[in-house]
Amino acid sequence: MDVAVIGCGYVGLVTATCLASIGHSVRGVEKDQKKLRALKEGLPPFFEPALQDLMREHFASGSLQFTDNIKQAVRDAEVVYLAVGTPPKDDGTVDMSFLEGAGKELCDALADKNGDYMITVVVKSTVPAGTNRRLYNFLREQTRAYVQVVSNPEFLREGSAVKDFLEPDRIVIGGESPEAFRIMRRLYDPIIRREENFLTMNWESAELTKYAANSMLAARISFMNEMTILCEHYNADIEDIRKGIGTDVRIGPHFLRAGCGYGGSCFPKDVAAMEHISRTAGHESLFVHAIQATNKSQKRRFAEKIVAKLGRPIEGATIAVWGLAFKADTDDIREAAALDVIQYLLDKGAHVRATDPKAMENMKQVFKDKVEWMPDPVSAATGADAVALLTDWPQYSTLPFRKIAATMNQPLIFDGLNCLHRDVMRENGFQYYPIGRPAVEAKLRLKTRT
């Protein structure tokens, strides 16, 4: 089918590339000129495993093209995706300006079409309940084209986005038109493995499904994070509790890993939006409020633990931060724990050295020369008073810890994601503080600085 995708960020570009890979002819529209330059060379403007090769293949074949000209992109399109950002405003409500802007541009691009021209608009962006219905009414009023609108919330995870898109657990389509449902069924045919995983519902149910999914996942993480407080007090191990409850079929094993607080472009903003969506409905959601408060305090608790256990004043201490991305396999730093922890340490007068295999350039935009940027974890730790591990990059668990212990000012690691092995830490003489797990509290041997 002939498809246009408006907005080629994480979701739009993955959508465009994957749709091209299952046989559709796709034009991506991106208005950010820097991103567009990369796209027009067949390169993704961000890091996402497996995306570059797939993109390159379909870009080379011509089935995937990019432009900033929306009119040209939608000229023959049967389906137009809106995949623009819906970031949070300062008060946590959803900034709808990109979606409204894209909707108006789409309207202008359809100005010369008449009722013979049928187009299905697919809202991929995460939007509050009622948005698709309003968009439908707006487009029906403003254009003569035969427009249908469906909500198609995206559940991909950065880091495994291509796989998640091409092998979805389910596809949710919200709308009112059986005809539009049929078009979407045909569009996604190659990736629908089981008919019952293609779910159709009304617009508002689809819109709320996305917020409910992210709030539920964030709630599970926040619950486990809260349990770490009890674990640390009573000398219990959150990993044992995770296994103990995750094997209960009513609970299941996923999203029960404790850490120093969730981040990313979705959970924080979607949970905040959920609180406002509830408020708009006249309901003050104590539950959704608690998910966020717990997450915020978990990030702060981690930073405070560094100060409390450092064994010397934080002012003037050197702290090496391993990992800046909000999770492994991405360069995305939106709402990453590293943002809060680094800011806290800087405010306390620490000298922060930071490293990350992919996200360093993005973090440099935030902290500039307030942080010393290091090429790798070993050099970051050299001469440091402590390491704070903040992203679960798998390579961090196999570092040369004996060498690291020998070159640090004092061998002390705060593991914000329980990535490292306690035995390895103990054997190499580290004082080691995981989250919600018994610490290794060897006596610190402080070296004299030269």
Ligand X SMILES: NC(=O)c1ccc[n+]([C@@H]2O[C@H](COP(=O)([O-])OP(=O)(O)OC[C@H]3O[C@@H](n4cnc5c(N)ncnc54)[C@H](O)[C@@H]3O)[C@@H](O)[C@H]2O)c1
Binding residue (CB under 6 A) for ligand X from 24, 30, 88, 228: 30
Rounded least distance, CB 115 to ligand X, Å: 25
Binding mask 287-326 for ligand X (x = CB under 6 A): ----------------------------------------
Rounded least distance, CB 261 to ligand X, Å: 17
Binding mask 33-52 for ligand X (x = CB under 6 A): --x-----------------
Instruction: Determine if 126 is a binding residue for ligand X (CB under 6 A).
Output: yes
Residues 359, 330 contacting (CB under 8 angstroms):
yes
Count CA atoms closer than 13 A to 360's CA, side-chain side: 17
**139-168 residues near ligand X, rule: CB under 6 A:** 154, 156, 158
Give the nearer residue to ligand X in terms of CB position, either 121 or 380: 121
Across 250-393, the runs of DSSP E, i.e. the strands, are 318-322, 351-355, 372-373, 386-389
Among 8, 260, 266, 419, which one carries the catalytic annotation? 266
**240-269 residues near ligand X, rule: CB under 6 A:** 265-266
Pairing of strands 2-6, 79-82: parallel
**CB crowding 64-91: b at 16 or more within 10 Å, else e:** bbbbbebeebbeebbbbbbbbbbebeee
Distance of CA 354 to the CA centre of its chain: 21
CA–CA dist 358, 155 (Å, integer): 23
266 is a catalytic site residue: yes
Give the nearer residue to ligand X in terms of CB position, either 7 or 323: 7
Binding mask 1-20 for ligand X (x = CB under 6 A): -----xxxxxxx--------
Closest CA to 98 of 136, 79, 126, 64: 126
Tell me which residue has tokens 């003037």.
316
Give the nearer residue to ligand X in terms of CB position, either 45 or 311: 45
Give the nearer residue to ligand X in terms of CB position, either 37 or 402: 37
Instruction: Determine if 276 is a binding residue for ligand X (CB under 6 A).
Output: no
Give the nearer residue to ligand X in terms of CB position, either 266 or 341: 266
Binding residue (CB under 6 A) for ligand X from 84, 173, 321, 337: 84
Give the nearer residue to ligand X in terms of CB position, either 278 or 330: 330
Residue 140 CB burial class (10 angstroms; 0-12, 13-18, ≥19): middle
- State how far the alpha carbon of 252 is from the alpha carbons of 155, 244, 328, 418, in Å: 19, 10, 23, 20
Tell me which residue has tokens 């254009």.
143
Rounded least distance, CB 251 to ligand X, Å: 24
Query: Where do contacts with ligand X occur on this chain (CB under 6 A)?
Result: 6-12, 29-32, 35, 83-86, 98, 101-102, 105, 124-126, 154, 156, 158, 265-266
Active site residues: 266
